[in-house]
Chain A
Amino acid sequence: MSRPLLLEGGHVVDPSTTRDGSADVLVVDGRIEAVESDLVGPDDADRLSVEGLVVAPGLIDVHVHLREPGGEHKETIRTGAQAAAAGGFTTVWAMPNTDPPLDDPAAVGFVRQEARRWARRGEGGARVSPVGAASKGLAGEQMTEIGGLVDAGAVAVTDDGRPISDPALMRRLLEYTQTFGIPVLQHAEDMRLTAGGVMNEGSVATELGLRGIPSASEAAVVARDVLLAELTGGHLHIQHLSTCESVDLVAAARARGARVTTELTPHHLVLTETAVRDYRTEAKMNPPLRTEIDRTALRTALIDGVIDMIATDHAPHHYEEKEREFDDAPFGVVGLETAFAICHQDLVVSGDMTLPALVDRMSCIPARTMGIDGGTLRPGSPADIVVLDPDARWTIDPERFLSKSRNTPFAGFEVTGRVKRTIVAGETRYEDSA
């Protein structure tokens, strides 16, 4: 085990213990030993001054695509985990829509082992937890051997990339997963309503002559699935909410006691369908960017807690794949290395949310609601820590990303708030060189 680590002189923000003030943090054997003022620490401890900086539980992203196996030209488990660490994340959940998909225990085990192998070689980043496929081959028909996937390390199941369309399959999944205490993650979309659409349906799509995806394509499936969550008592997690109608449906279902959690992406928080103008493929994603009415409703829902957490839906694509006609370009944007700054700029700098509340939505709440060991600096917890400079101003430059891909809609954005250091199990996995 590495030597003890003492982070001295920082401002500790840990909503899980309601701490928000100056304190030192001592890490021993990869775990939090103590969080107190004026800690002395053992003689052999590495001492690191973090004066003027914020020390918080490492960020958690329950929705990333690391592309390996099968899409290594876009991202690998190594580069994805490193990009995550550069974004302040200490745990990410890798989606199963790889090639082959993570629909058997061997594939699930591969992702977990690969992340650990790179960490052992000193090239690790965030912890990578595989999410298993909900159906075999992501075909939406036959349930995978979920018990086997969980034994191999799966932390949830989903067919993400595609919706679980069959209501009977969704019902069975919400029932069957209760044995293992894991959530079903749903990409809520009715493909027949989407019907080949490539952006939000509305006046901008009409003007551009692009096929639209109506809001109802998402909301209709949200409506159905919250009812199934209520019927079964299972844990439904709805990914990347994009419409105001979905927010209302979730709020009503939760008021009736349904176990429904939700996430919001940074891009749906700050951008609208107008970002697609000029056929910008870096603003093409699914669900699409919606209207200002939707954006405002989603933002309010995040602040009020109807939306539980931020998740990036980090979806790397090779530049050549995005340098195409809008219809032919793939859906998706990267997000790991910009998420904190974009959210901090939009929510905290504006004064609409406190920094502790943002840390809550990017770390503590995902840990608590999804059953992840982390999201806290409580003694005994894994020493997964992020050190932030909330005052640092910088300009987003995709050329500096550690991710293999550059497909971001945020290039050139001026932001405030920067990740200085990311520590996983007491080991620094990222350090800001700027």
Chain B
Amino acid sequence: MTAQGKDLELGKDLIGLEDLTREQILGILDTAEPFKEISERSIKKVPVLRGQTIVNLFFEPSTRTRISFEFAEKRLSADTVNISSTGSSVQKGETLVDTARNLEAMRIHMVVVRHGSSGAARFLADRIPSNVINAGDGQHAHPTQALLDLLTIRDRFGAIEGRRVCIVGDIRHSRVARSNIWGLLKCGAEVAVCGPRTLIPAGIEDLGVRSFGRVEEAIEWCDVLYVLRLQLERMEGGFVPSLREYNRVFGVTSERLELASDEMVVLHPGPMNRGVEIDSDVADGPRSVILPQVTNGVAVRMAVLYLLAGGRPELAESAKTGAG
């Protein structure tokens, strides 16, 4: 193995981008490049993970992330099983430890886990020998989402370093925001957050980001405006008075985007609340790279699966031609 290849080794699991180096992150993005093309073929399948068994273990409802992982797994020829179970382990009677032990007893290769509690992916990874990929844990991390966002930004601007990215919305409850902050900072971007003060968590500046009180300031400042979904239950928690009020003060509208630079782009992790955090003419407009994000999601997840299974980044191009 080359020295470069060794530096890129991810270890057993992918839990959060805070655990990775800049080189590892960029290495995953580089590995994703050749995999992009597979999805453009008529026969979208290569034998890279033939014989590997993967469990998609979703303790929280998810459509987009689960489907994206499943496509990535199937296009790499892995055998997959989906387990969905909502509610915490306390509510459903079986503890996460027991779930982990049962998975271990079935001798599976990888687990893709989504869970409502922060730290649950790490908890599982520490207790089973299989590779664990975090598909979102509580409000902590969603590393593959951030990786696909980084890839999308790099596709558009050629490089992430030096770009100004502002994440707008419910930073407090967002694992997407946290993973993006880690990933963007490690890749050399300038990062800001913006939202009502009720949704900005204490001590966020200690992570190395600045914050804007008004969305107009953020739009003027940034190259990339990352719009977060406003969870509807935040109204019940009293964090914002109403959806209408949120849209009035923080909604990303085409009028507000007139303040932006010509090259500025808009990202959103989906699913969108049109007319709340983002207006339809922005979501469907020329600045939106929301659908390219979704396409990149499959490629990035293929890259992560490939690397954790022991694949070497420099061989990703040849791996997809069928050598396995």
Closest CB of chain B to A31's CB: distance in Å?
Answer: 51
* Residue among B90, B123, B139, B202 making CB contact with A209, cutoff 8 Å: B139
Answer whether residue B213 sits at the interface, using C-beta atoms and an 8 A cutoff: no
Q: Digitize B11-43: 1 where CB-to-A-CB distance is under 8 Å, 0 elsewhere.
A: 000000010000000000000000000000000
Is the beta-carbon distance between B117 and A203 smaller than 8 angstroms?
Answer: no
Closest CB of chain B to A218's CB: distance in Å?
Answer: 15
Closest CB of chain A to B198's CB: distance in Å?
Answer: 12
A315-363 with Cβ < 8 A to chain B: 320, 323-328
Answer whether residue B137 sits at the interface, using C-beta atoms and an 8 A cutoff: yes
A208 and B140 contact, Cβ closer than 8 Å, known pairs A202-B202, A325-B123: yes
Q: Which residues of B contact A324 (CB under 8 A)?
A: 89-90, 95-97
Is the beta-carbon distance between A206 and B207 smaller than 8 angstroms?
Answer: yes
Q: Which residues of A contact B175 (CB under 8 A)?
A: 209
A278 vs B122: C-alpha distance in the bound complex, in angstroms?
A: 8
Q: Which residues of A contact B139 (CB under 8 A)?
A: 209-211
Closest CB of chain A to B315's CB: distance in Å?
Answer: 34
Answer whether residue B189 sits at the interface, using C-beta atoms and an 8 A cutoff: no
**Count of inter-chain pairs, beta carbons less than 8 A:** 78
A254 vs B137: C-alpha distance in the bound complex, in angstroms?
A: 46
A293 vs B116: C-alpha distance in the bound complex, in angstroms?
A: 32
B96-114 with Cβ < 8 A to chain A: 96-97
Is the beta-carbon distance between B88 and A209 smaller than 8 angstroms?
Answer: no
A208 vs B206: C-alpha distance in the bound complex, in angstroms?
A: 13
Is the beta-carbon distance between B203 and A210 smaller than 8 angstroms?
Answer: no
Nearest A residue to B115, CB-CB: A325
Number of interface residues of A (CB under 8 A): 22
Answer whether residue B285 sits at the interface, using C-beta atoms and an 8 A cutoff: no
Q: Which residues of B contact A326 (CB under 8 A)?
A: 117-119
A136 vs B141: C-alpha distance in the bound complex, in angstroms?
A: 43
Is the beta-carbon distance between A325 and B88 smaller than 8 angstroms?
Answer: yes
B109-138 with Cβ < 8 A to chain A: 115-120, 122-123, 137-138
A327 and B88 contact, Cβ closer than 8 Å, known pairs A203-B206, A206-B204, A208-B119: yes
A314 vs B240: C-alpha distance in the bound complex, in angstroms?
A: 40
Is the beta-carbon distance between B202 and A205 smaller than 8 angstroms?
Answer: yes
A206 and B201 contact, Cβ closer than 8 Å, known pairs A279-B118, A279-B122: yes
Q: Which residues of A contact B141 (CB under 8 A)?
A: 209
Chain A binding surface SS class = loop
Is the beta-carbon distance between A328 and B89 smaller than 8 angstroms?
Answer: yes
Nearest B residue to A279, CB-CB: B119
Answer whether residue B268 sits at the interface, using C-beta atoms and an 8 A cutoff: no
A209 and B122 contact, Cβ closer than 8 Å, known pairs A203-B203, A203-B206: no
Answer whether residue B178 sits at the interface, using C-beta atoms and an 8 A cutoff: yes
Q: Which residues of A contact B203 (CB under 8 A)?
A: 202-206
B193-237 with Cβ < 8 A to chain A: 201-204, 206-207
Answer whether residue A201 sits at the interface, using C-beta atoms and an 8 A cutoff: yes
Answer whether residue A207 sits at the interface, using C-beta atoms and an 8 A cutoff: yes
Nearest A residue to B139, CB-CB: A209
Nearest B residue to A210, CB-CB: B118
A323 and B97 contact, Cβ closer than 8 Å, known pairs A201-B202, A205-B201: yes
Nearest 9 CB-CB pairings of A with B = A203-B203, A209-B140, A279-B119, A209-B139, A325-B117, A203-B206, A209-B118, A206-B201, A327-B117
Q: Can you list 18 A-B pairs, Cβ within 8 angstroms, ordered by A?
A: A203-B203, A203-B207, A205-B202, A205-B203, A206-B204, A207-B18, A208-B118, A208-B140, A209-B118, A210-B119, A212-B201, A278-B122, A320-B95, A323-B97, A325-B96, A325-B119, A327-B116, A327-B117
Q: A203-B207, A206-B178, A206-B206 are in contact. List 15 more A-B contacts (CB 8 A).
A: A205-B201, A205-B203, A206-B203, A207-B178, A209-B118, A209-B138, A209-B140, A210-B139, A212-B202, A279-B118, A320-B97, A324-B95, A324-B97, A325-B120, A328-B88
